[in-house]
Each structure stands twice: as structure tokens, then as C-alpha cells.
Amino acid sequence: MKKLLLLAFAASALAACSDDEYNYFELPASYTVAFEEARLGDDGYIWGKSQAVTLGEDDKEAAFFGDGSKYFFAPIYTEGDAAFQSLYTDYLGLYGMAYDSWNGFVISNHTDMSTAGFANDKSVYAQGGANGSAQFAVLYYGKWTGGEYGVPAIHFVGGVKPQRVAVANTTYLYLYFKNETNPAEPVDVKGVITGYNSGIETGKVEVTLVDGTAGTVKTGWETIDLTALGTVTSMTFVVETEDSMCPLYFAIDDLEYNK
């Protein structure tokens, strides 16, 4: 009888120990932003035009974008803990002419791989999104816009740990280097992803979009490791190159992070 009691006590202790170990080694929650939940319009993308408001002379943004111009600057899409910032304006420039323009992110399903130029700025140079998906995000680094308006940014609810993201060239950038007269010297183009935690930089990750020395331009999707960024509350995306005419775009998909 005593032996049976000892065995029962040992089994109970082992079970309790196993539960503690399971809780201690529990993996962090993981989430992947795949953009498939985004409801695109009939034109195959979403941006801020439909939500833009007309600026009046008393609006502070009017000094930058022009009195009477349309303006939107806010998250264009949210999924999980991630909010994708976007700018739209039809800035009333010289002679009162309006031009649709955007910076930051748009969500798209465009896969036109043959039409060159800025009119095709929302197409990825691939058959679709990463891993056979239909939708993805395209970002444009509006270097000349100035301030936060020009820098594509993702803001997170609380701190997250980015794990990886798929990156691809847009058709606009790809055909620019394949069809246009390239600079006399080899030119590199890099996408730079920077992490921030409450405004403090946590790290940077670079991805080669164009290798000038090798004369190659990225085709298809490539998964990039983001763990070097650590814990972030936001991420920014820019394009670095010495080519002043380079289209400053690339596409992302399947952004995975842990909480």
C-alpha cells in the first residue's frame, strides 16, 4: 500500500513539473500580415484618394500641399497589430493643375510586368504575391516630399518582434533599369528597413534591389530576415541609390512578427 502511495505521489509531481516546463517554454504568438483580407477596389488597389479631404486656408497642411488641394495622411490598411501609413494628394501646383500622387503604402494586386513608367507604379515584377498569394503592398519612398510625409512607415500596437518579410521589385523599377540607358558607372539600389522602439532606432536591415556591379535586377520574391531589428513599435522603408532618376519603389508581402 505504501509503495502504491509513493508511486502515485511521484506521478503527480512529474505531471506538475511537466506543466511548469510547458508553460515556461511556450513559444511567442506569431502573426503574418498577408494582405489577403484587404478589400481592393475595381481598379485593383486601395489608396487614400477616396478618403481625402479638401484643404482650406486655415488647415496647417495647406501651407505644404496648397489651399484647395485634396489630402489624406493616415493608415491606409491595418491587419493584426500593423498599420500601414499612406499619403495621397492632388497637390495644386503651378497654374492650379492637379496631379494624383502618393507616398508610403498602397495595397495592390497588379502584376503587369510589361508596361514601363510611372503609370504602372502599383505592379510587382512577379506573377503575384509571395507564396502564390494574390495581394501585396507596394511602397514608394517620396524622398522629395519631405518629413514624415515621404517615408513609408508601419506602426504597431505595442512592441512586436519582426521575424521576416518577402520583398520584390516593382515593374516600374525593374523596367527602368532594363529599358532605360543606365548610368556610365554601375549603380546599386538597396531597400533599407529600419526599426524603432518608441522613436529610438533598434537596427537596420538592407536588401539588394539592383546589383550594379553584377548588372542584375532582382526578380521574384525574396524572404528577408528581420530579427536584427529586435523589438519595435514602428518600421520605416527607404530606397538608397546614387541614381537620382531611379524609381524609389519596392513591394512587400507576408510580414511575420512575434509578440
**Count, residues in the chain:** 259
Domain count, the chain: 1
Residue range 54-99, pLDDT digits in tens:
999 999 999 888 889 999 999 999 999 999 999 999 986 656 677 8
pLDDT bucket at 5, cuts 50 / 70 / 90: very low
Domain of residue 206, residue span: 30-258
Dihedral of alpha carbons 50, 56, 60, 61, sign = positive
**Is the pLDDT assigned to residue 20 strictly greater than 60?**
no
> Residue range 141-165: average pLDDT?
94
Residue 9 pLDDT: 41
Name the nearest CA neighbour of 246 among 145, 152, 177. Answer: 177
Residue 23 counted as domain residue: no
Question: How is 58-99 classified by DSSP, letter by letter?
Answer: TSTTHHHH-TT-EEEEEEEEEETTEEEEEEEE--B-GGG-B-
Residue 148 counted as domain residue: yes
The Cα 129–Cα 124 span in angstroms is 8
**Is the pLDDT assigned to residue 7 strictly greater than 50?**
no
pLDDT bucket at 186, cuts 50 / 70 / 90: confident
Mean pLDDT of the chain: 89
Q: What grid cell was written down for 13?
A: 509531481
**Is the pLDDT assigned to residue 208 strictly greater than 90?**
yes
The secondary element (H helix, E strand) that includes residue 240 is strand 232-241
Residues 6+ apart with CB under 8 A from 145: 87, 103
Helix (H, G, I), strand (E, B) or coil at 136: strand
What percent of the chain has pLDDT above 70? Answer: 85
pLDDT bucket at 127, cuts 50 / 70 / 90: very high
Residues 6+ apart with CB under 8 A from 20: none
Residue 14 counted as domain residue: no
The Cα 133–Cα 143 span in angstroms is 30
Residue 4 counted as domain residue: no
Residue 8 counted as domain residue: no
**Is the pLDDT assigned to residue 128 strictly greater than 60?**
yes
**Is the pLDDT assigned to residue 21 strictly greater than 60?**
no
Q: DSSP secondary-structure letter at 173?
A: H
Lowest mean pLDDT among 22-26, 50-54, 145-149: 22-26
CATH number, position 171: 2.60.120.1350
Residue 46 counted as domain residue: yes
Cβ(259)–Cβ(161) under 8 Å?
A: yes
pLDDT bucket at 254, cuts 50 / 70 / 90: very high
Residue 5 counted as domain residue: no
Select the more confidently predicted residue: 16 or 133: 133
Residue 78 counted as domain residue: yes
